[in-house]
Amino acid sequence: MCRWIAYTGPELRLAELLVKPSHSLLAQSRHAEQSTFAVNADGYGVGWYTGFNDTPGVYHETRPAWNDENLKSIASHLTSPLFMAHIRAATSAVSRTNCHPFRAGRWLFQHNGAIGDFDRIRHDLDGAIDPTVYATMKGCTDSETMFGLCQSEGLADDPAEAIARMINRVEASRRQKGIKAAFNMTVALSDGEELWAARYGSDGDGPSLYHSASQAALDTASAADGVIESKATIVVSEPLDGCEEHWTAIPARHVLRASGNDVEIWPLP
């Protein structure tokens, strides 16, 4: 299981969340606490939005996050009102093209989890992706296939509905092939305006997923040189500090929409 983080709110230095908290994403790359794998060493990626470009910036690296000196440098200098980052425990080839977040136009997408026995249904799922979308795909992960399906199922019009339709596509293929291995996921995606996240498990709750529940979470996630403003929302695979009371679990089979500190959570369609 991979680990990820997403932020929306007032412009913030990326290091405030990726590096400085006691259980930052960088710390989780060595010692994840709520993951199948404690070590997430198969690459990482960062995606961020600014007012300078119509598309988000991305940085991908196949080395472990703790072993790339560029991460701390970039995170200390970049500021953004909406960004996401991902550390990878690979279920397929370790390459930059397989590192999250994936980018398509204005959209960013990242995923934690796995489609069980993906190789048995990959052809069917890829065949359901719009050809113009499929032509832009570069990697070989189930994650990128899921992103392609979301784009093909109306992502630009209704992200929550597109995520639900993607899940239904996967589940239909699993049933058709008689696959018993589980399909578990958390996903985050954004167009630079709003942040969307969802949690799903075919045979249970799915991977852990939280959002910041109080100013205390924002304060303790921040560094000594300032607190994160309350007009913000952080979504994480696991809490950035040792106090789970600062965080609210996103229920299984639910979707979250956030813009700043305006948060809505409801069951997946």
Domain membership of residue 48 (yes or no) is yes
Domain membership of residue 63 (yes or no) is yes
Domain membership of residue 152 (yes or no) is no
Domain membership of residue 59 (yes or no) is yes
Q: With 70 as the cut, is the pLDDT of residue 224 above it?
A: no
Percent residues over pLDDT 70 in the chain = 90
Q: With 50 as the cut, is the pLDDT of residue 192 above it?
A: yes
Question: Measured in Å, how far apart are the chain's first and last C-alpha atoms?
Answer: 25
Non-local CB neighbours of 266 within 8 Å, separated by 6+ positions: 160, 254, 255
Q: With 60 as the cut, is the pLDDT of residue 160 above it?
A: yes
Domain membership of residue 129 (yes or no) is no
Domain membership of residue 162 (yes or no) is no
Q: With 60 as the cut, is the pLDDT of residue 216 above it?
A: no
pLDDT for residue 148: 98
Domain membership of residue 235 (yes or no) is yes
- Count of other CB atoms within 10 angstroms of residue 89: 20
The domain tally of the chain equals 1
In this predicted model, which residue has the larger pLDDT, 35 or 176? 176
User: Helix %, strand %, coil % for the chain, to 5?
Assistant: 30, 30, 40
Domain with 194 in it: 3-110+185-267
Query: Residue-wise over 120-156: b if at least 16 C-beta within 10 A, else e?
Result: ebbeebeebbeeebeeebebebbbbbbbbbbbbbebe
Cα separation, 152 vs 251, in Å, equals 26
Residue 220 binned pLDDT confidence (cut-offs 50, 70, 90): low
- Mean pLDDT, to the nearest integer, of 4-16? 95
Domain membership of residue 142 (yes or no) is no
Question: Where does the chain show beta strands of DSSP type E?
Answer: 3-13, 44-48, 57-61, 79-87, 102-104, 107-115, 183-190, 195-201, 210-212, 233-236, 247-249, 254-259, 262-267
- Mean pLDDT, to the nearest integer, of 51-70? 90
Report the SS3 class of residue 240.
coil
- Mean pLDDT, to the nearest integer, of 132-154? 97
Where residue 93 sits, what CATH number does that domain have? 3.60.20.10
